[in-house]
Structure 1
């Protein structure tokens, strides 16, 4: 269990989720070392933090041995491509981050006696045959499909984390994160919400993959970060689902974004992705009972904040 005010090392800390996590850690009194190779993250996400006391940005690839950043009380391992577009572009790098990167992060945490938190993913459930998904469900994953580089990297990372826990008594926590959205997502990220918002603001058709009846669970970034920190500051090994249990169709999300952005763009269909899950929704009973965590930001409020951020970015670029 990590106590507030210690030194936290965040891998992938200049990414969308990582930058919000670094910011929250600083607010809680931690000193933060942010490690990132900038393969998918960007220094711009943490530029506002670089003048803050206790924050350090280190360009580093987690598949290389960790640099000497000082004694750590907490290691949060987020380094990985996370969007289908990115891990299709970086398949080997994604697998190496999940395997070698996780091994390096675990060994670093072990040397310092630090609590280690792995950010895994709902993708370990694949196209689930159980609904909603509980942490006891083993998943329905295609190990050789186009999504497998991400799915199997995270499944291996979970196995390695639990091996360190069992063999060495490592203090670990595994978070299975469901779809998270919010400010600082890249416009070209390729994921559903930034795609829809970018299209709506540009007056382009909102392109829904497949029928649009497939469902997702979407959680605003502030809620996801709160769940990760609740896990980090506990002794719970997990895995723990961190996501919003309110199930929504992809078409519904597109319609909400269209309405909130004031767009008159039509919603159109494009071919669905290979191995795209038909239903996705977490059971968060474990997070609620063991961590006292559940999401608080409504879909409408979270989308409004995200649309406002994308609109401001668009205006600044123009």
Structure 2
């Protein structure tokens, strides 16, 4: 049994990670300030003898005793991270500094949940870890994109300067139960609009692409990354290499939900990436991992979750 800290543990990904760590027999400390996380996501764990919840903001120092740290704290959807962009940057940068400082004191292994957004609007397709990205440093998405890039910088500087045992995963679009219904992401947007019988809003012409990874597959990859030896730091792409256009996704969800929703097209937001597809060769080689859940199966589970949540 390891004592494991999960920052952002009441969020979409964090709560699924807590579930997995508890199932694996670990003692889990879940940390969240509930800016985007929800107690509902971890309500079923509150009475578990090896689960503890702490309300705390990672932009402030933390003094606990743990063996491993998963740093997931940061709003991850454009709606949420653009609401308070200064705080978003602080969460990524100050949060990384505080968690790395904690890991240094404890000599604990620490994993950073980074993002495919470090590649920006890429000129290389699919994206490999060696690609440095094409990011606007002063745009409306920069608080998140550059915040995560700076967090990666800090992780590798702590690794080089202090010999800290670090891991960095770059997460591509992930979906599944416990997504926030108003987070502005395409999967949740399309499902909620379809269940409510509303028109489906597509930004741009719908030909921009994304690669959608089901949450269970993502968590499996994160756990495997944490279990690798100290010689492997990443960054490693974690995502589904099968690419879909946004329009294809919308039409698929309408077909699965049913109803009479129509497609409505609106202008593309600033700096919205045209392509997003991971090259997962490194994950296959180092983790023995690739996604197992077909997008249709994952969408069925996600639609069922939102039906229960919305009473539809």
The 5 A counterparts of 1:1-318 are: 5-68=1-64, 71-235=65-229, 236-315=232-311
Contact 1:94 1:150 in 2 (8 A): yes
Task: Deviation per CA, 1:99-131: give whole Å up to 9, x if none.
Answer: 111000011111111110000000000000000
Task: Deviation per CA, 1:243-296: give whole Å up to 9, x if none.
Answer: 000011000111111111113211121111110100100000000000111100
**Structure 2 length-normalised TM:** 0.98
* Greater mean alpha carbon deviation, residues 108-117 or residues 273-282: 108-117
Contact 2:6 2:28 in 1 (8 A): yes
Give the CA deviation at 1:52. 1.1
Contact 1:81 1:90 in 2 (8 A): no
RMSD between superposed Cα atoms in Å: 0.8
Task: Say which SS state the counterpart of residue 82 (structure 2) adopts.
Answer: helix
Task: Structure 2: state its 5+ residue gaps.
Answer: none
Aligned length: 310
Task: Say which SS state the counterpart of residue 234 (structure 1) adopts.
Answer: coil
**Structure 1 length-normalised TM:** 0.96
Point out 4+ residue stretches in structure 1 off by more than 4 angstroms.
none
